[in-house]
Amino acid sequence: MLRRFASFSQVMILIFLGNIGHDGGMLRAFPWRYPSVMLTSGLLIAAPMMLSATPRAALPVQVVDQAGMPLRDAVIEIAAPAGDARRPAFPWRNAMAQKNQAFVPGTLIVARGAVVAFPNFDNVRHSLYSFSKPGPFKIDLYGQDQTRTQQFKVAGTIALGCNIHDRMQGYIRVTDTPYAARTDLNGLADVEGLARGSYDVVVWHPRIRGVGGEWRGKLVLDPGKRLRVTVAVRPDAGK
């Protein structure tokens, strides 16, 4: 029999009548409900999850160029605050496809050490390569509906090309921070999980006028309030 009680302070006391196995069966079944437990003579007491007094929510950031125009596919990286042990993990797949003789997505953010898949959805073969210092590699020709993989162990920017189709160009941004996002066509991105405060910020884009295509600065971020970052960029060679 399992009963659940909730007091005003949100303390939950769970009384389990019977034996709990050494494999932690009950805890394993509900790991997201009971983050802290104490076992005493068949009594299971679950302490409430302590919430920070400072709210953590989405930090909306917009990146624009010197003319005030939105910068699409810019990568925003916010350094983790001291004591933050969260590991980088992103909701999107570690994959960059070849479709219609283009890299999709054109810019991909992955955690350092990630293995990236390169599925080929074209009816022609591709041979991928990069000369970038953080992760040079070469993948020999492979055809439609085939996939190749490559691991990236060093943080930085990986510029990719295809030995067969010179116009194909893509970028992989390998990062150490879990607080990273890519801007949309309006130059907007939401960085999740940080509280209000002052942070070291890096904005990367292949057209940014800066070492390695990076803009660096220290910014005060406030959840729910849009922050606008202006960066100097080179003209778009494709226009």
187-209 average pLDDT score:
94
- Read off the pLDDT of each residue in 128-145 and give the average, rounded to a whole number: 97
pLDDT at 228: 95
Tokens of 19: 């034996």
pLDDT for 222 beyond 90? no
30 or 131: which carries more pLDDT confidence? Answer: 131
H or E element that contains 170? strand 169-175
| pLDDT band for position 219 (cuts 50, 70, 90) | very high
* Pairing, β 128-130 against β 214-221: unpaired
Structure tokens at 186: 């309006």
What domains can be seen in the chain, in order of their start residue?
A: 2-47 (no CATH), 53-85+178-239 (2.60.40.10), 89-176 (2.60.40.420)
pLDDT higher for 48 or 237? Answer: 237
Cβ–Cβ < 8 Å for 118, 148: yes
pLDDT tens digits for 8-30?
333 333 333 333 333 334 333 33
Residue 212 pLDDT greater than 80, yes or no: yes
Q: What is the pLDDT of residue 56?
A: 62
Q: Comparing 197 with 32, which gets the higher pLDDT?
A: 197
Statement: residue 120 has pLDDT above 90: yes
- 93-123: burial string, b at 16+ Cβ within 10 Å, e else: ebbbbbeeebbebbbbbbbbebebebbbebe
Tokens representing 132? Answer: 């970038």
User: Are the C-beta atoms of 102 and 166 separated by less than 8 Å?
Assistant: no
Please state, in angstroms and rounded to a whole number, the distance separating the CA atoms of residues 182 and 152.
Answer: 19
159-179 pLDDT, tens digit each: 999 999 999 999 999 999 999
**Which residues fall within 8 angstroms of residue 115, CB to CB, at 6 or more apart?**
94, 149, 150, 151
Q: Which residues, listed in sequence order, are joined to residue 230 by a DSSP beta bridge? A: 64
Average pLDDT taken over every residue of the chain: 82
What amino acid occupies position 68?
Answer: G
Q: 43-52, 141-150, 179-188: which range is least confident on average?
A: 43-52
The Cα–Cα gap between 160 and 209 comes to: 20
Give one DSSP letter per residue of 80-106, joined into a string. Answer: PPTT--PPP--SS-SB-EE-SSSEESS
Cα atoms found within 13 Å of the Cα of residue 9, Cβ hemisphere only: 6
